[in-house]
Amino acid sequence: MKKSEAIAYLNRWEAVKKIEEEAQSLTLEQRWRQLNSLFGLARELNLFENVSDMGEEAVWQRWVELKLKVE
């Protein structure tokens, strides 16, 4: 590993640490709003259909579709 790669690696982990600290400092109301936002997004993406009845191939296909939507 080159020195520049090691520095970049450490910088990324520092950024992760900062985000984690910020998340831990959120109030219960802020966390509740974030959770509600995630549920709203899941509903918009039709992720609430019964996935327990899906076969493995269907699950993999769903991941492909979600990845395409994000890109």
Domain assignment of residue 34, given as a range: 3-70
Contacts of 69 (CB under 8 A, 6+ apart): 45
Q: How confident is the model at residue 14 (pLDDT cuts 50, 70, 90)?
A: very high
Would the pTM of this model clear 0.75, i.e. be above it?
Answer: no
Q: For residues 58-69, b (16+ Cβ closer than 10 Å) or e, as one string?
A: eeeebeeeeeee
Q: What is the pLDDT of residues 39-52, one digit of tens each?
A: 999 888 887 766 66
Q: How many distinct structural domains can be found in the chain?
A: 1
